[in-house]
Amino acid sequence: GAVVSQHPSWVICKSGTSVKIECRSLDFQATTMFWYRQFPKQSLMLMATSNEGSKATYEQGVEKDKFLINHASLTLSTLTVTSAHPEDSSFYICSAQPVPGLAGYEQYFGPGTRLTVT
Amino acid sequence: QKEVEQDPGPLSVPEGAIVSLNCTYSNSAFQYFMWYRQYSRKGPELLMYTYSSGNKEDGRFTAQVDKSSKYISLFIRDSQPSDSATYLCAMSGNAGGTSYGKLTFGQGTILTVHP
């Protein structure tokens, strides 16, 4: 149980284009999902917290107009990188938190999406 | 100073060895402590989860939390080559409020267990 999927697993796009990454909780409902970015050999940095049916909360320094997050249902959140630039190339990972009270305080992570902007 | 400090290693041990991984932290509000394992180019996998101080054991893995010292550890007994991965500690504050669920990660320790 507690499986989170991400799609696509790897995407290459040209500078200036937009790319959408999907995060799905497959066997549980998640009122909250988180988006992280990870650079090579570095830790995960939280970008934003996504709550179903409400606007995402972005961490300091993260451009909300560049990284659009939509959490349309209890099992799906999307991250759209708009007007991508080479410096946006990174490993993007989402996590999903089960509905509180059902599975404690854990988060379950997706397999990640590797974005390369050329 | 980072909120969570973790020696990035790399750490190389022979198969069967006991591995000790640890993190220190500065934020006394942290109440939830997790250890994740991450294989290359994969998402982190939750290994252990501890609330407040104490020990927790699960198979070959033991997690310890010492809140008085702001120090947490993960021990791996009878280490196997399949344990080779990056191990990340993560912490979070009290439930509720705007910080609910927000994890602060250590840098991760790269572990290699050689046959």
Q: Please give the residue of chain A at the shortest CA–CA distance from B85.
A: A41
Q: Which of A28-37, A81-90, A93-102, B30-39 has the highest mean pLDDT?
A: A81-90
* Residue A54 confidence (pLDDT): 84
pLDDT at A101 over 80: no
- A39: closest CA of chain B, how far (Å): 11
Angstrom distance (rounded) from CA A26 to CA A75: 7
* Interface touch B49/A104, C-beta < 8 Å: yes
Angstrom distance (rounded) from CA A10 to CA B44: 17
Longest dimension (CA), chain A: 44
- A98 close to B (CB below 8 A): no
Instruction: Tell me what the pLDDT averaged over chain A comes to.
Output: 90
- Mean pLDDT, residues B54-67 taken together: 94
Query: Nearest by CB to A109, which of B41, B43, B51?
Result: B43
**CA end-to-end distance (rounded Å), chain B:** 37
pLDDT band at A105 (very low <50, low <70, confident <90, very high): low
A49-58 CB contacts, 8 Å cutoff, 24+ apart = A49/B101, A49/B102, A50/A77, A57/B98
pLDDT band at A1 (very low <50, low <70, confident <90, very high): low
Q: Which residues pair with B33 in a beta bridge?
A: B50, B91
- A82: closest CA of chain B, how far (Å): 23
How does pLDDT run across A53-70, given as a tens digit for each residue? 888 999 999 999 999 999
Instruction: Tell me what the pLDDT averaged over chain B comes to.
Output: 90
- B85 close to A (CB below 8 A): no
* Residue A102 confidence (pLDDT): 43
Query: Nearest by CB to B46, which of A42, A91, A108?
Result: A108
- A89 close to B (CB below 8 A): no
What are the angstrom distances between the C-alpha of B63 and each of A9, A96, B23, B89, B106? 31, 23, 11, 11, 15
pLDDT at B95 over 70: no
* Interface touch B8/A41, C-beta < 8 Å: yes
Pick the closest to residue A76 from A116, A9, A22, A16 (CA basis). A22
- Mean pLDDT, residues A34-60 taken together: 89
